Structure 1
Amino acid sequence: MSNIIYIGYEFKVKPMQPGVEILVAELGYSGFESFVETETGVTAYIQKVDWNESILDDVRILNSDEFEINFTFNEIEQTNWNQEWEKNFNPIVVDNVCAVRAPFHEKSNTTFDIVIEPKMSFGTGHHETTHMMIQHILKNDFINKSVLDMGCGTGVLAILAEMKGAKPVDAVDYDNWCYLNSIENVDRNNCKHITVIEGDASVLKNKKYDIIIANINRNILLKDMATYVSCLNENGALFLSGFYNDDIPIIKAECEKHLLNFKEKLERNNWVSLKFLN
């Protein structure tokens, strides 16, 4: 698979809150897949193949009298991405137990210390959805559980799952940069039980897991839910994120259609993460 080209939009937003939160939500529905908050607003990324000149037509906040929003956009070169992350990527600590940091940060004294060099991949723990997925992993038993990290991004969730005792672990992403970055990060964290796979839900045929982690977006989750359920072992757990509070009814309805039972909700700045059991 050839390298995927991204279009990056740099938005300047006044006032920042709740402007950035609303903007990110609407951009997510329009197909943007990753976001980096800046001092003046947010930078949003969409794959060039998904981009068109009318991509912002349904982003209503851009026409709101309550906010002043300006933007520029350009293609993102892969070689520039590391520099962008080094400028914006600060170490984080989740629940005083798990640290996610870059190689240039000092080692933490937390129980789990994960070293991630993100490149173009999405999922450093900074975004609310990844943060909540880390919380789910910390709270649940992963010892000797077979795990799927679907839409693995940097591989951070697969890495934490192995640190929590999971094996084997499959980390899957259709983005070539994410695939290569996950391989690097798996090796960087000395993981031995993670297999990184490049592809979409079609690569899951005949696979079975005790736990499935899927932090993607609402539309992909709905489209691939039947596949996830078919891959889930009896008494398995499914953790979902990448959507908002308003999306819960449609997500729950799809899960219940496949006989999954809702167990827990985490919420962070209007983003949510849900746990289901079969």
Structure 2
Amino acid sequence: MSNIIYIGYEFEVSPEQPGVEILIAELGYAGFESFVETPHGVTAYIQKEEWHNSILDDIQILNSEEFIITYSFNEIEQTNWNAEWEKNFNPIVVDDICAVRAPFHDKFNTPYDIVIEPKMSFGTGHHETTHMMIQHILKNDFKGKSVLDMGCGTGVLAILAEMKGAKPIDAVDYDNWCYLNSLENVDRNHCEHITVIEGDASVLGEHTYDIIIANINRNILLQDMATYVSCLNAGGMLLLSGFYNDDIPAIKAACETHLLKFEEKLERNNWVALKFLT
């Protein structure tokens, strides 16, 4: 697969809050898939193949009298992405249990210490969805469980799953850059039970898992729900994120169609992460 090219938008927002939060939510619905908050607003990224000239036409906050928003955009060369992340990537600690940091950060005194170099991959723990998925993993028993991390990005969730005793683990992403980055991060964290696979849900075949983690987006989750369920063992767990509160009815309906039982919801800034059981 060829590397995916991104379009990056630099937004300046005044007042910043709740302007940035509203803007990120609306951009997410429009197809933007990763965000970096900046001192004066936010940088948002969308795949070039998903971009079009009218991509911002339905972003209502841009026409709001309550906020002043200016922006510029350009095509992002993937070779520049690592420098961008290093400039903005601060370490995080989730619930005083799990730290996610870059190689140039000092080690944290937490039970789980994950070192990643994100490059062009999505999933550092800074975004609400990754943060909540880390919380779900921390709260549940992964020891001896077979796990699928679908849309693995940096591989951070698969890495934490192994640290919690899961094996074997498949980490899957269709983006070649994410695939290569996950390989690097798996090696960087000395993981021995993670297989990184390049592809989409079609590569799963007849593989089955005790736990499936899918932090992608609403449309892909709904499109591939039947595949996830077919790959889930009896007594299995499905953790889903990458969508908003307003998307819950559609996600729940799809899961209930496949006889999954809703178990728990986590919420962060209107983003949600849901837990279902077979």
Q: How does 1:210-221 map to 2 (within 5 A)?
A: 210-221=210-221
What is the aligned partner in structure 2 of residue 192 from structure 1?
A: 192
Could you tell me which residue of structure 1 aligns to residue 23 of structure 2?
23
Q: Percent identity?
A: 83
TM-score, structure 2 normalization: 0.99
Measure how far apart 1:244 and its partner are. 1.0
Q: Pairwise mapping of residues 215-234 of structure 1 onto structure 2 (< 5 A)?
A: 215-234=215-234
Find the counterpart in structure 2 of residue 167 from structure 1: 167
SS at match of 1:52: coil
Paired residues for 1:61-72 under 5 Å? 61-72=61-72
Compute the displacement of 1:197 (Å): 0.6
In structure 2, the residue matched to 1:5 is 5
Partner Cα distance (1:272, 1:119) in 2: 25
Query: Take 2:206 and 2:58, find their aligned partners in 1: how far apart are those partners?
Result: 39
For 1:36-57, what per-residue CA distance to the aligned partner results, in whole angstroms no more than 9, with x for missing partners?
1111111010111111111111
Q: Distance in 1 between matches of 2:39 and 2:151?
A: 28
Query: 1 CA distance for matches of 2:89 and 2:229?
Result: 35
**Letter of the 1:96 counterpart:** D
The one-letter code sitting in structure 2 at the alignment partner of 1:127 is H
Whole-angstrom CA distance in 2 between matches of 1:3 and 1:134: 27
Alignment partner, residue 84 of structure 2? 84
Matches within 5 A, 1:1-278: 1-278=1-278
Can you give the 5+ residue segments of structure 2 that lack an aligned partner in the other structure?
Answer: none
Specify the SS of the correspondent of 1:35.
Answer: strand
Deviation at 1:269, TM superposition (A): 1.2
Q: CA separation in 2, counterparts of 1:263 and 1:171?
A: 24
Query: Aligned with 1:105: secondary structure?
Result: coil
Cα distance in 1 between the residues matched to 2:23 and 2:258? 32
> What runs of 5+ residues in structure 1 fail to find an aligned partner?
none
Query: How far apart, in 1, do the equivalents of 2:147 and 2:8 lie?
Result: 32
SS in 1 for 2:120: coil
Alpha-carbon separation, structure 2, partners of 1:228 and 1:72: 38
Q: How many residues are aligned here?
A: 278
**Could you list the runs of 4 or more consecutive aligned residues of structure 1 that deviate by over 3 angstroms after TM superposition?**
none
Distance in 2, Cα, partners of 1:86 & 1:31: 25
Shift of 1:26: 1.0
Q: CA deviation at 1:74?
A: 0.5
Paired with 2:157 and 2:99, the residues of 1 have a C-alpha distance of 12
Whole-Å Cα distance in 2 between the matches of residues 42 and 175 of structure 1?
23
Which string of whole-angstrom CA distances, capped at 9 and with x for unpartnered residues, describes residues 101-150 of structure 1? 00000111100000010001000001111000000000100011000000
- Name the CA distance, whole Å, in 1 between partners of 2:65 and 2:204: 47
Deviation of 1:259 after TM superposition, in Å, equals: 0.3
SS at match of 1:219: helix
Q: Secondary structure at the match of 2:167?
A: coil
SS of equivalent residue, structure 2 residue 192: coil
- Whole-angstrom CA distance in 2 between matches of 1:29 and 1:176: 24
CA distance in 1, matches of 2:176, 2:61: 32
Q: How far apart are residue 80 of structure 1 and its match?
A: 1.1
Cα displacement (A) at 1:221: 0.7
- What is the DSSP-based 3-state SS (H/G/I as helix, E as strand, rest coil) of the residue aligned with 1:90? coil
Structure 1 length-normalised TM: 0.99
Describe the SS at the equivalent of 2:265: strand
Shift of 1:22: 1.1
Distance 1:105 1:164 in 2: 23
